[in-house]
Structure 1
């Protein structure tokens, strides 16, 4: 109310100054105009709280806007009419002035009704959009073609809807990934557990002819389960960024040589020739243990899919990279976008034929990206993967 009073006083002063500068009124005319403008200010001061109360209680914005604007127009007409009468116009001129003002008022009210109808419709559309979003229709959009405050509000609500829709899609994707994780882990646990149960029952019943072989099989299954649990736990930590890499300057050629030496017995057991080819100095900043794990995963994957040969190429021209290529059938065409997903394997069969749990490439991919590098599939022949890291 204090702000309204200040504005009305300012308007009264401006009006009187305008009269003084444009009309050079007499003392009597000054009194008339001061009375008229003062009465107008008093009327505005008394009616504004009533209009605000009506606006807040009105069920439609259009009605509140129409009443407020109509009141302003009628007050203006009344002021002009009183001023015209005070200027001693003839009865004919006064009647003509009032009729003209009345006609202009009706025209203004008609225009105001049309404008308020459009505004009320847009407000209803925004409200309907919010209600649809609250009811779960995340595709609801207001899509108002306006540049004013209402248009910006509608644009913000539309942006919120898009964000909610994206978050819902992410939630559904996470839910599917969780279900797939549980199903795949359960499948990979079932086979070794079943094998261990059968071996233990055979030992308990005394039907095992070679107890050492049965115990060796149980030990192998335990190692498989331990590796699976460790890989799942490591991948979960990598995905949420829970692993801090201990970065040092490393020579990828030395790291690749260590990985090749560690996996040579596995290659020999599978009848695969494993060779290392180093071309240039390949220095990078990274975690020795984690990058070594990534390289071993790539080489182990290549050995399991190779027919007779796996080659590891280290290059250091402009960037440090390692390419692991096998002479096997290569990656299936439809696997390009899923090769680095959890439990992704070219062969969907879950038989324990040494095909692994399908976590190695996913782990290697996260380790590479965590070092500001990448892991990509290359074109054949055979299967080929390239690990690239920024040069040190």
Structure 2
């Protein structure tokens, strides 16, 4: 039993020395390729085995022939281990490069297509995560394109809606300037109405910019839904009468709601104006 423990001690000391040396080499080469790292690991394993064997052989005073046989066997194992490590490293490195090339499609606005047949579970998991991230980026790009399209459409609508009252204001101003207005008071009242309408449009644009910037602060309060709708209907009633539209709001229940009364009135007013 004592001899076995002694042999184990000598083998451990020889293998530990080789392991420490291999750890130092790995630290120095930690920024190199995977092929180099795997080769070093395989070399450390074989060197540790050889060191432990030679230490035990030296301690047991084996014959030179026996030592030569053991060394030859270990050398053959080292060659096979190194060859296997290099092949495995090159295989994994090749698939890693494929994954790297596929990942570059993110920067070009493309869709990530994971290479098939990943050699390790870690690379396969990384490919799945990249595919999921690509799907999220595609969804974000679609939302961004939709928002940009809505912004362009909004600018076109606002330009059209502003052009109409501006044309009317210009015509009425020219009529007043030339003295062609039969009822100047009515023209002035109409100009004031159009100016208030344009001021409302500008206010809507300002509110929209605050919403997009995230700086719109809401102040919720308890208010009756009946009163909320009634105020909105009263605000657009003159415009509805002008266009021959009849508004009915007596079927609204008096349900209490928790909303920002000012902003909700703006929302309902915009909806009613668009509908009219």
* Candidates 13, 20, 24, aligned match of 1:49: 24
Whether the 8 Å contact between 2:15 and 2:47 is mirrored in structure 1 is: no
Whether the 8 Å contact between 1:55 and 1:61 is mirrored in structure 2 is: no
TM-score normalised by L of structure 1: 0.55
Whether the 8 Å contact between 2:18 and 2:51 is mirrored in structure 1 is: no
Query: What stretches of structure 1 of length at least 5 have no aligned partner?
Result: 1-22, 305-392
Deviations along 1:134-184, one digit per CA (max 9) or x if unpaired, are x43442355675433x55555555455444444444443333333333333
- Residue 194 of structure 1 pairs with residue 167 of structure 2: yes
Deviations along 1:295-345, one digit per CA (max 9) or x if unpaired, are 44444555x2xxxxxxxxxxxxxxxxxxxxxxxxxxxxxxxxxxxxxxxxx
Structure 2 CA distance for aligned equivalents of residues 272 and 128 of structure 1: 63
The offset of 1:244, in angstroms, is 1.1
Structure 2 CA distance for aligned equivalents of residues 136 and 235 of structure 1: 32
Instruction: Kindly report which structure 2 residues correspond to 1:66-105, keeping only aligned pairs within 5 A, or say none.
Output: 66-84=39-57, 86-87=59-60, 97-105=70-78
Aligned to 1:340: none
| Residues 266 and 49 (structure 1), Cα distance of their counterparts in 2 relative to 1, 3 Å cut | closer
* Candidates 237, 260, 265, aligned match of 1:287: 260
| Residues 195 and 113 (structure 1), Cα distance of their counterparts in 2 relative to 1, 3 Å cut | same
* Candidates 95, 103, 118, aligned match of 1:122: 95
| Residues 294 and 181 (structure 1), Cα distance of their counterparts in 2 relative to 1, 3 Å cut | closer
The offset of 1:62, in angstroms, is 0.8
| Residues 262 and 195 (structure 1), Cα distance of their counterparts in 2 relative to 1, 3 Å cut | closer
The offset of 1:118, in angstroms, is 2.8
Aligned to 1:140: 112
Aligned to 2:219: 245
Aligned residues: 273
Structure 2 CA distance for aligned equivalents of residues 265 and 188 of structure 1: 18
| Residues 25 and 251 (structure 1), Cα distance of their counterparts in 2 relative to 1, 3 Å cut | same
Query: What stretches of structure 2 of length at least 5 have no aligned partner?
Result: none
The offset of 1:282, in angstroms, is 2.4
Instruction: Kindly report which structure 2 residues correspond to 1:362-381, keeping only aligned pairs within 5 A, or say none.
Output: none
| Residues 274 and 221 (structure 1), Cα distance of their counterparts in 2 relative to 1, 3 Å cut | closer
Aligned to 2:36: 63
SS at match of 1:243: coil
SS at match of 1:274: coil
TM-score normalised by L of structure 2: 0.74
RMSD: 3.8
Q: Give the number of the structure whose residues are more often strand, by fraction.
A: 1
Deviations along 1:367-389, one digit per CA (max 9) or x if unpaired, are xxxxxxxxxxxxxxxxxxxxxxx
